[in-house]
């Protein structure tokens, strides 16, 4: 293969991947008539939970098939609106425009809260700062504060890490902590939670936010204060509702869920279902 | 006899059809890319797209400025070329002119392996090794910089640059070299006075292809450059985080509502990227042709 054709192929692949992104739709193939199957698609935050639950469920009921696909909350909602899937999993509520689109398409989205996720603000373990108020975090993320000594730390520049805008966590953080203000222009955008953990664990200047399920001891989770005292992101605080950065995770169905979708959603709040929620690192609804 | 001919014909037309699919696919992709990108300019002015200096796709009103992404791509690519061309050219000269054939045979497979490593592996290596190293060595607030991207892309462009320039150097007629040596010039004088000028257009093609490789790379840059959509200073922006066009598309495509302004803006960025790589390939191609022509004379 000549070098020229290789470069053409690279160009082609790039374009192809773009096109395929737009057309990501998978057919649902029922080969066995009596086999019940549903398709779930959406948020990468909910993905590990839905996958773990589906595995446990399918072990118990082997004649069912639950397919789970990630891609992001918006992708799942778009698929629900197009009638391609049975359940959309999201880490945010549907937007007004999405509900309008759904109704225009004859889809009636019904929301179920399936679990709670805690968001923790993390810094390097060597950073002496161990708690911040919402106002301080907001000031750091919108760009009003750029040195750790302004929030009680050492004289070091703050390196601000954010997820990319396709992450539900990105929007949640923007709404809850930054009150809708735009992220500072020089924030580092990381494509995954793993990359944020990795960077924070090796950079003393960094601050980032990750789901509580991802905390692994290589970073320090800050106690955050939303006006009623600093709270650590422990499971007790999240379950008691005192930790301010906890958000619900949702399943959306077209109309009230029926059949396997209903049974699966009910399974999530069963004893085994709730145990699995804890194992994955989230908290039962 | 007749039967055989028919069979040949059948095989031939099947192959024609299969290769036709490639061409049709390419045209469909182009059409799709440009149509989706063009739809942005129904609501958003093309002037703003080209001159706006910030990329705020989710604020309201949204700002879709190409400049920070374009300059981000350019600075990372320029850095990659500055790092990889001298290295690549030196290796090509060594492999084709100086090295013991046994050693050359040993080095070549390594260069080829370098080309076969998946880009996500390069990215991971960059994030774990190069980024912290740059941060400590240069005492930067973060090592996720354009420079980190340049280093990784330079490494990835090396195989292209080495093998294409090596081809160019090898196809310099032996008579030219022998003539130069016969006139009493040393081996080094022959290389830089005779061989390199004779292979120049092939080497330029190698550089162009290296640029094409670097500017279209996505995964690696996304993992190491920090993805901050700010127009970088030149050259000090090399030590700041930047966002490339490819990384923007990859980062934001996941959650963008289909058919929205933001969706079309990403396609418009994709179209710009496509035009750039297409032009680079055209230039590389014409440079290469020119050099084949010269050789024929």
Instruction: Tell me: do A130 and A176 sit in the same domain.
Output: yes
Q: Backbone phi, then psi, for B242, in 5-degree steps?
A: -135, 165
Domain contains A100: yes
49-68 of A, contacting B, C-beta below 8 A: none
Tell me whether residues A185 and B228 touch, CB distance under 8 A.
yes
Query: Which residue among A10, A189, A195 places its CB closest to the CB of B228?
Result: A189
Structurally, how many domains does chain A consist of? 2
Average pLDDT over residues B201-229: 90
Question: How many Å lie between the alpha carbon of A56 and the closest alpha carbon of chain B?
Answer: 28
Two structure tokens written together for B55: 């990329």
Instruction: Tell me: do A199 and A215 sit in the same domain.
Output: yes
Residue-range definition of the domain harbouring residue A180: 117-246
Instruction: Give A16's pLDDT tier (boundaries 50, 70, 90).
Output: low
Look at residue A282 and give its three-state secondary structure: coil
Average pLDDT over residues B167-195: 90
Instruction: Tell me: do A256 and A277 sit in the same domain.
Output: yes
Instruction: Tell me: do A211 and A107 sit in the same domain.
Output: no
- Chain B contact set for A168 (CB, 8 A): 255
Would you mind telling me the total number of residues written for chain A in this entry? 285
Instruction: Tell me: do A129 and A207 sit in the same domain.
Output: yes
Q: How much of chain A, in percent, has pLDDT values that exceed 70?
A: 88
Instruction: Tell me: do A64 and A149 sit in the same domain.
Output: no
Given a cut of 80, whether residue B234 has pLDDT beyond it is no
Q: Is A9 on the interface with B (CB under 8 A)?
A: no
pLDDT value at residue A38: 93
Within 13 Å and on the Cβ side, how many CA atoms surround A222?
A: 29
Instruction: Tell me: do A237 and A266 sit in the same domain.
Output: no
Instruction: Tell me: do A267 and A201 sit in the same domain.
Output: no
**Domain CATH for A175:** 3.40.190.10
Tell me whether residues B274 and A157 touch, CB distance under 8 A.
no
80-139 of A, contacting B, C-beta below 8 A: 97-98
Instruction: Give the Å distances, CA to CA, from A197 to A147, B18, B154, B156.
Output: 21, 47, 27, 26
Average pLDDT over residues B166-176: 90
- Chain A contact set for B209 (CB, 8 A): 3-4, 7
Instruction: Tell me: do A195 and A91 sit in the same domain.
Output: no
Q: What is the pLDDT of residues B25-69, one digit of tens each?
A: 999 999 999 999 999 998 888 898 999 888 888 777 888 999 999
Average pLDDT over residues A231-252: 88
Instruction: Tell me: do A171 and A270 sit in the same domain.
Output: no
pLDDT value at residue A149: 93
Give CA–CA dist A161/B153, Å, rounded.
23
> What residue spans define the domains of chain B?
2-42, 49-296
Q: What is the pLDDT of residues A93-129, one digit of tens each?
A: 888 888 998 999 999 999 999 998 889 999 999 999 9
Determine which of B132-146, B163-177, B280-294 has the lowest per-residue pLDDT on average. B280-294
Q: What is the pLDDT of residues A76-93, one digit of tens each?
A: 898 999 888 999 999 888
User: Would you tell me which CATH number, out of the four given (2.60.40.10, 1.10.3720.10, 2.40.160.20, 2.60.260.20), belongs to the domain B49-296?
Assistant: 1.10.3720.10
Q: Is B248 on the interface with A (CB under 8 A)?
A: no
Question: How many Å lie between the alpha carbon of A123 and the closest alpha carbon of chain B?
Answer: 14
Domain contains A259: yes
Given a cut of 80, whether residue A8 has pLDDT beyond it is no
pLDDT value at residue B295: 55
Count of beta carbons in the 10 Å neighbourhood of residue B137: 9
Tell me whether residues B226 and A3 touch, CB distance under 8 A.
no
The nearest alpha carbon in chain B to A160 belongs to B142
Instruction: Tell me: do A89 and A163 sit in the same domain.
Output: no
pLDDT value at residue B297: 40
Count of beta carbons in the 10 Å neighbourhood of residue A180: 10
Q: Is B32 on the interface with A (CB under 8 A)?
A: yes
Strand order, beta sheet including A230-231: A131-133, A223-225, A230-231
Average pLDDT over residues B96-104: 90
Between the two ends of chain B, the Cα-to-Cα distance in Å is 44
Q: Do the Cβ atoms of A160 and A188 come closer than 8 Å? A: yes
Give CA–CA dist A53/A48, Å, rounded.
9
Domain contains A223: yes
Q: Is the ipTM of this complex over 0.85?
A: no
């Amino acid at each position: 293969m000549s070098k020229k054709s290789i470069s053409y192929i690279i160009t082609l692949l790039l374009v192809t991947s773009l096109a395929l992104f737009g057309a990501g739709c998978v057919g649902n193939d029922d080969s066995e008539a009596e086999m019940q199957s549903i398709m779930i698609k959406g948020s990468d935050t909910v993905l590990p939970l839905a996958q773990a639950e589906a595995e446990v469920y399918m072990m118990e009921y082997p004649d069912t098939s639950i397919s789970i696909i990630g891609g992001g909350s918006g992708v799942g909602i778009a698929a629900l609106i197009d009638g391609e899937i049975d359940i959309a999993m999201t880490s945010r509520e549907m937007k007004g425009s999405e509900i309008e689109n759904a109704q225009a398409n004859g889809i009636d989205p019904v929301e179920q809260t399936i679990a709670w996720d805690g968001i923790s603000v993390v810094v390097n373990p060597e950073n002496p700062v161990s708690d911040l108020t919402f106002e301080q975090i907001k000031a750091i993320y919108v760009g009003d504060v750029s040195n750790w000594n302004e929030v009680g730390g050492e004289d070091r520049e703050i390196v601000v890490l954010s997820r990319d805008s396709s992450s539900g966590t990105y929007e949640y953080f923007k709404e809850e902590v930054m009150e809708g203000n735009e992220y500072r222009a020089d924030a580092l955008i990381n494509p995954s939670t793993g990359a944020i953990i990795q960077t924070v664990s090796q950079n003393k200047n960094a601050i980032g936010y990750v789901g509580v399920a991802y905390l692994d001891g290589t970073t320090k989770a800050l106690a955050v204060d939303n006006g009623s005292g600093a709270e650590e992101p422990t499971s007790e605080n999240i379950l008691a509702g005192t930790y301010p950065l906890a958000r619900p995770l949702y399943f959306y169905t077209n109309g009230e869920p029926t059949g396997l979708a209903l049974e699966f959603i009910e399974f999530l709040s069963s004893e085994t279902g709730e145990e699995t929620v804890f194992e994955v690192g989230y908290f039962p609804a | 006899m007749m039967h055989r001919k028919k069979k040949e014909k059948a095989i031939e037309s099947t192959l024609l059809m299969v290769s036709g699919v490639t061409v049709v696919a390419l045209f469909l992709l182009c059409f799709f890319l440009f149509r989706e990108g063009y739809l942005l300019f129904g609501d958003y002015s093309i002037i703003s797209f080209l001159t706006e200096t910030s990329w705020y796709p989710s604020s309201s009103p949204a700002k879709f400025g190409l400049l920070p992404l374009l300059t981000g791509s350019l600075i990372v690519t320029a850095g990659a070329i500055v790092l990889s061309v001298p290295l690549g050219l030196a290796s090509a000269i060594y492999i084709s002119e100086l090295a013991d054939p046994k050693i050359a045979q040993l080095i070549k497979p390594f260069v080829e392996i370098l080309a076969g490593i998946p880009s996500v592996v390069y990215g991971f290596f960059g994030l774990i090794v190069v980024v912290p190293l740059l941060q400590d060595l240069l005492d930067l607030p973060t090592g996720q910089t354009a420079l980190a991207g340049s280093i990784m892309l330079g490494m990835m462009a090396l195989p292209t640059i080495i093998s294409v320039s090596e081809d160019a150097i090898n196809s310099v007629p032996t008579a030219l070299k022998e003539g130069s040596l016969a006139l009493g010039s040393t081996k080094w004088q022959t290389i830089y006075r005779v061989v390199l000028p004779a292979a120049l257009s092939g080497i330029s093609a190698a550089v162009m292809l290296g640029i094409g490789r670097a500017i279209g790379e996505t995964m690696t840059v996304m993992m190491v450059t920090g993805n901050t959509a700010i127009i970088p200073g030149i050259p000090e922006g090399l030590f700041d985080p930047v966002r490339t066009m490819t990384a923007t598309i990859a980062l934001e495509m996941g959650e963008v509502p289909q058919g929205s302004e933001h969706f079309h803006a990403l396609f418009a960025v994709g179209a710009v990227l496509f035009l750039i790589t297409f032009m680079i390939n055209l230039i590389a191609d014409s440079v290469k042709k020119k050099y084949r022509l010269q050789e024929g004379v």
